[in-house]
Amino acid sequence: MLYQIYEAQRALIEPFADMADAAAKVYGNPHTLLGQMPMAQRVAAGYALFHRLGKDYEKPEFGIRKVPVDGVEVAIDERVEIDKPFCQLLRFKRFSDDLPTLDKLKGQPPVLIVAPLSGHYATLLRDTVRTMLEGHKVYITDWKNARTVPLSEGEFHLDDYVNYVQEFIRHLQAKYRNCHVISVCQPTVPTLAAVSLMASRGEKTPVTMTMMGGPIDARKSPTSVNTLATRRSFEWFENNVIFRVPPNYPGAGRRVYPGFLQHAGFMAMNPDRHASSHYDYFKDLIKGDQSSAETHRKFYDEYNAVLDMDADYYLETIRTVFQDFNLVHGTWDVRSPDGVLERVRPEDITTTAQLTVEGQLDDISGAGQTRAAHALCKGVPRRDGDHLEVKGAGHYGIFSGRRWRTVVYPQVKAFIAEFHAKAVQREEVVMPDPIPVRRAAAPRAAADPGQLRLDGVDASASKPSTHGANGGAHPAPAASASAASPSRTARKTNGSAKPARAAANSAPARKAAAKASAKTRRGGSADGPRAR
């Protein structure tokens, strides 16, 4: 019933908010008669403030059209890579006519940014995406408003969130052989679970995993968010904050945790700060400080745009993350798409480097909550883990704003670059190179790797890229079998090479050939042991 009351209130206020917007424009225009009246600026400022307090905030756009890459402007095309019932995987594809820049873009690491599903849209990470695009191929999870998802699409659970993340990781791995993952706030927990499950199954895991300001262990340094979750019972949340979507939306009848309740909770955390911010906006309009007023509008256009969350997902997050602490207790079971329950074991992760980031003044995820991931991932060598505490930064400061751009991003970029280079080097060593093996019958100079490989893929087996400037996605060659045994080409070459002279048919020559063939069958080659 509360949802219906809220919708009725919004429908009642909306016409007055539109009228206030029109009045603000009239009084704020010095060329109109009303704009020349005394106190016109104050009246216009008052109407403008009323309009912003009463208007409905729709989902914003990312609006990223271009970014600089080493001084060269690169065009950005936002596109939907995968469309799921409750989420879209967005890709920000980069284009450039500058050939050196184009080559540079192709070699940059692919990064999946897992945006939070906690009330705001993924556009809250606009600054994160824009900055990352300067040095990476960027994808982001764009979660849908649950009130727009028809009931026919079924429910959405925390398990589904984990499965979505795994699917997106596999998608990037298929295109680029490897990928890196960054999770911000809420998704640090399901992202860690997704990578843990992949490791437990023996799947290839991301090269790096960066976790920023998330409740990995919500018991540490509890904030007001954590306290609310522990003071109230699970039944209280189910009975008091879950409502059905009204009939005027595609998802009518779906049980959700409404975005307007989450927004009220956000505002209640810092009421004085928000009140002061709106008063400053009013004064900026009176003074004619349009720059400061526009900064206020941009921030609150994003902050006030909220979405509904499916009730099952919300309640399961409350219980799993904030009440039962299943991840840190080792008691979290996730249901896979085929219905099998799998235990989340972070200790099974061994090949994914980890970076955790916390803000010194974070009032949502307390100190130590994110850093706890290192203790859970016991299989990751210490040299492959790092932690960053950002001095003077609050929750939003670690992924948006000046501190993100000048303090956090340089370290995230360096961390990804270090392990990406190592991963590429490992693949270059392990991947079989059929061209040199075919010509191994006669001595020759080493081949130029730049002539044999394109974007890390064997040029002889690759087709020209059709993916534009963002690094041309190439499917990963099936190298697992080849890495474990000699390639078919190598066996064929060693077994069928014909002698060049009749002397080669002598008994010593035949014995030498037999030894070389046996050595090849054991996993080596004529030139020495196989690199692994």
Phi and psi at residue 162, in whole multiples of 5°?
-60, -40
Q: What is the pLDDT of residue 203?
A: 97
d(CA 96, CA 76): 9
Alpha-carbon span 531 to 431, nearest angstrom = 9
What is the chain's percent helix, strand, coil content, to nearest 5? 50, 15, 35
Q: State residue 357's pLDDT score.
A: 98
* Tokens (6 digits) for 456: 């890390």
pLDDT given for residue 431 in this prediction: 47
| Coil vs helix vs strand at 112 | strand
E strands, 336-470, where?
341-343, 353-359, 385-390, 453-454, 457-458
What is the predicted pLDDT for the residue at 57? 94
pLDDT score of 426: 86
Query: Which pLDDT does position 272 carry in this prediction?
Result: 94
Q: Would you state the structure tokens that stand for residue 336, as one six-digit string?
A: 């896979």
Residue pair 332/343 in contact by the 8 Å Cβ criterion:
yes
395 phi and psi angles, rounded to 5 deg: -65, -50
Q: What is the pTM of this model?
A: 0.79
Integer Cα distance of 289 and 283 in angstroms: 9
DSSP state of 325: -
Strand pairing category for 333-335 and 243-244: unpaired
DSSP state for residue 245 in the 8-state scheme: P
Instruction: Give the per-residue pLDDT at 22.
Output: 96
At a CB cut-off of 8 Å and minimum separation 6, what does 22 contact? none
* Mean pLDDT of the chain, nearest integer: 85
Closest CA to 168 of 91, 92, 106: 91
Taking the C-alpha atoms of residue 9 and residue 453, their distance in angstroms, rounded to an integer, is 62
How is residue 149 annotated by DSSP? S
User: For the chain (length 532 residues), average pLDDT per consecutive 10?
Assistant: 91 95 94 91 96 94 95 96 98 94 94 97 97 98 98 97 98 96 98 99 98 97 93 96 96 97 90 95 94 95 96 98 98 96 98 98 96 98 97 95 97 98 81 41 39 37 39 37 36 38 44 45 37 34
Q: What is the pLDDT of residue 429?
A: 61
From 190, 188, 213, select the one nearest 357 (Cα to Cα).
Answer: 213
Q: Which amino acid is located at 54 in the chain?
A: G
Percentage of the chain exceeding pLDDT 90: 77
Other CB atoms within 10 A of residue 334 CB: 24
What is the C-alpha to C-alpha distance for residues 251 and 151, in angstroms, rounded to an integer? 6
The continuous run of DSSP H or E covering 80 comes out as strand 72-83
Give dist(CA 453, CA 445) in Å, integer.
17
| Residue 196 to residue 344: CA distance in whole angstroms | 6
Checking 170-175 for CB contacts under 8 A at 24+ apart, the result is 170/203, 171/81, 171/82, 171/89, 172/110, 172/112, 172/139, 173/204, 173/476, 174/475, 174/476, 175/110, 175/473, 175/474, 175/475
The enclosing H or E element of 283 equals helix 271-287
Q: What per-residue confidence (pLDDT) applies to 266?
A: 87
